[in-house]
Chains A and B, each alone.
Chain A
Amino acid sequence: MGRFLKKMAILILLIYVCDMVIGMLAEKKMNSIINKKIVNRATFIDKKVTAELIVLGSSRAAHHYDTKMMSDSFSISCFNCGKDGSGIAYGYGLLSLLKKRSNPQIIIYDLTPYRDYYKGIDIHDDLGMLKDEYRNDSDIKSLFKYIDWLEYVKMNSRIYQYNARFFQIFLSDYISIDTSYIATNGYEPLNESFTYKNIPPIPSCEVDTFKCTLLKDFIRIAYPAKVVFVVSPYYEGIASHMIEPIRDLCINNDVTFIDYSDDIRFYHNKSYFSDQGHLNSTGATVFTRDLIKKMKSMCFKIQ
């Protein structure tokens, strides 16, 4: 057994050294990508974006909010930071990073009830999107520790930090960068006509206390910026009993809440949607225009 323990110790040491070396190489390459003039949308959002009005949320945020229109209308800089598959944990993490490099005046969070408030969609996926910042930011480290202690421990491995992204990082010089996001202020219009997609049913109506706490923390760290929670349109709408608790949370935390989930203009209107969960560019234009009107009528003061 002594021989076994000796060899295990040597193996663990070798693994540690390889992890350090490979991790450092990946980090160096990552830094060189970030320091380039032109970066992809995801890197720009995580590392560089500064704007006076920020839109956060999942793919619904990315595809629903025409931030170019908002920028023209409000006469302030606006950027759409919506990210596919992200939830409130990513939103909170990104906001804490944004606040360190700028002072946005208005933060719009596109809230997806079953992703940001109720159980079902796993919050852990968001941590994967924040791995790059783990070593650089103590707030992100604390977020990892809060959500998943095991994930926090795993992040001690440098290779794990870049898990599933090695090729993206080392082949970045050979992959062309889509810069169309620059012209649209991050907004990603969907131009497809309606296709009915086989989407799994909403997983659960049980409130997720983790997510609730993160929503409140989101509101707290956003201060003094004005926070607006928006439930943007769904093709099939959302049951009102799922929305009411969220509305109550907003009232209790002095946050503006705008709900389009039961707006009849969008309900079962195929011309506005590309699938049941996402507006197409036509729908996004109508929605954004209406949202701007509502926000102006709420006398949002922009300095």
Chain B
Amino acid sequence: MNFAFNSFAFLLVYPVVFCLYYVIPQSYTALRNLFLLFISYSFYAIWSLNYIFVLLYVTIVSYFFAFLLNKRKINHTKKVLNIIGISIVLLPLLFCKYINDGDDGGSLLIPIGISFYTIQAVGYLVDVYYNRVEQEKNFIVYALFMSFFPSIVSGPINKASLLIPQLKTVRIFFDYTKVVSGMRMFLWGVFLKVVIADRVGFYVDIVFQDYNNYSSLTLMVTTILYSFQIYTDFAGYSLLAIGIGKTLGLDLMENFRRPYFAYSITDFWHRWHISLSTWLKDTVYIPLGGSRCSRLRNYWNIFITFLLSGIWHGAGLNYIFWGMWHGIIQIVEKMLNEQSCKYGMSVRIIKIGVTFIIVSFAWLFFRLHSIGDVWCFLIKMSMMDSFSVYVPGISFVIELSIGLGLLLIKEVFDEFFPGKCLILDSPYRFIRWGGYIVLLFIIGAFGVLGSDQFIYAGY
């Protein structure tokens, strides 16, 4: 059964989970956590029953090694223990994703969410190693941190210092503001996913499958649309996850902050998959020395960090190239001192455009799966053979325009005029409720209500 967060099956089941959770009295924090753990493992069993033991393995191993690392002075023994612990935790991920490579990159054999919960465990071990957090002695709490169902499939990657304290404290019985805020995020996440991402996906899939038979202009349009597809798909999912967490009274990490308004690649990574870039900074970049070293060493640290980011996304050369591309651009920005934006609005807009083009080019490596294909695609795109653009139909154009238009308006206001054009968050009830109804209508009328796979669920 399809049980993605935007599926009808989940929408039928989750209200029951929600009600049962809030039936448990406020003071019974342990019981609430046990219930959430049960639900998390049940949902995981629905998504990926055969691999539930991989999740359990990673949880137990990381719990054990955190126990060994806890409160020790940082010395050679602790370092060795940390390396051994991380290596053992990484074994299933390395095997499933990189060694046991099937015809389609091994994705058929990858337990769902393994990339996310594995690096979450690694991040936890590194935090315990550096004494940033204490080992969580309560196994139920730790297991829940590892398996929390909203975020296990595609993130956000949770930090122990943020989530575990929330799980341990006595939560407010029913935080009305948080629940409503969570539902708004969920609604907007569904809109991003089914109205924009999936609608664009139809067009993008058709063109990418057979790009040699389409005009250069169509390929340019497709490249731009794919950038929006991957953003709205992933950001939509993250909002669903964060929204669900909020309805249960738990705050998960923000994962996206209008990334296509970034004025540099450095800034882009402060806005895109924020939980991953935070993890990379805390677990890879800072331990390597970060920026507290020579310039050359700093460039090397950036390069390695983003090379690892590429490898995390996939075993193929295309992902490695993608990671390296982002790393190299950031090094160049640092060399030229162009990471920030010290200029006026007009230059900022130009920088935003240039950054968008650089990022969109890099996304081709995600979509086309081989460097050869990307090369052929770019050659075809540069031919400028025709000014015609493939258009599936006027309805498609209108529906897509509505979706992208709403997204753009919201993002422009949030970025440049924060607090000025609130609809779902408006202080006026009739505007809020009007927004809910209109958004629900748009989802019901124009959303792709059959598709259920998130792009990042394959990682």
Contacts and interface: CB of A to CB of B under 8 A. Distances in A.
Report whether chain A binds chain B.
Answer: yes
Interface of A: 1, 3-4, 11, 14-15, 18-19, 22, 124-125, 128, 150, 153-154, 157, 159-160, 162-168, 171, 175, 195, 197-198, 200
A159 B213 contact: no
Interface in B171-187: 173-174, 176, 179-180
Sort A-B residue pairs by CB-CB distance and give the 9 closest, nearest first. Answer: A159-B444, A167-B395, A1-B174, A198-B210, A166-B445, A198-B209, A150-B8, A167-B398, A168-B395
Interface stretch (B138-146, B298-306, B353-361, B432-440): B432-440
Contact of B441 (A154, A159, A165): A159
B449 interface: yes
A22 B399 contact: no
Most buried by A among B179, B437, B444, B449: B444
Nearest to B180: A4
Contacts of A200: 209
Nearest to A163: B449
B9 interface: yes
Contacts of A163: 444-447, 449
A11 B394 contact: no
Nearest to B397: A167
B192 interface: no
B450 interface: yes
> How many residues of B sit at the interface, in one of the four size bands?
20 to 34
Contacts of A164: 395, 399, 445-446, 448
A179 B449 CA distance: 31
Contacts of A162: 445
Contact of B394 (A153, A159, A167): A167
B249 to A, nearest CB: 12
Interface of B: 8-9, 12, 22, 173-174, 176, 179-180, 209-210, 213, 394-395, 398-399, 433, 436-437, 440-441, 444-450
A18 B433 CA distance: 13
B210 A197 contact: yes
B8 A166 contact: no
Given A197-B210, A197-B213, A166 B437 contact: no
Nearest to A3: B176
A165 B394 CA distance: 11
B429 to A, nearest CB: 10
Given A4-B179, A4-B180, A157 B450 contact: no
5 contacts: A153-B12, A154-B8, A154-B449, A163-B445, A167-B395
A175 B395 CA distance: 10
B174 A4 contact: yes
Given A124-B450, A167-B394, A197-B213, A159 B433 contact: no
Contacts of B394: 167, 171, 175
A18 B176 contact: no
A198 B12 CA distance: 39
Contacts of B399: 164, 167
B9 A11 contact: no
Most buried by B among A125, A128, A160, A195: A160
Nearest to B15: A8
Contacts of B176: 1, 3-4
A195 B448 CA distance: 30
Contacts of A3: 176
A163 to B, nearest CB: 6
Contacts of B210: 197-198
Nearest to B208: A198
A1 B399 CA distance: 37
Contacts of A197: 210, 213
Nearest to A165: B395
Contacts of B173: 1
Given A124-B450, A163-B447, A14 B437 contact: yes
Given A4-B174, A154-B8, A175-B394, A15 B445 contact: no
Contacts of A154: 8, 449
Given A14-B433, A15-B437, A1 B22 contact: yes
A165 B173 CA distance: 44
Given A167-B394, A198-B209, A157 B437 contact: no
B450 A159 contact: no
Nearest to A200: B209
Contact of B450 (A128, A153, A167, A168): A128
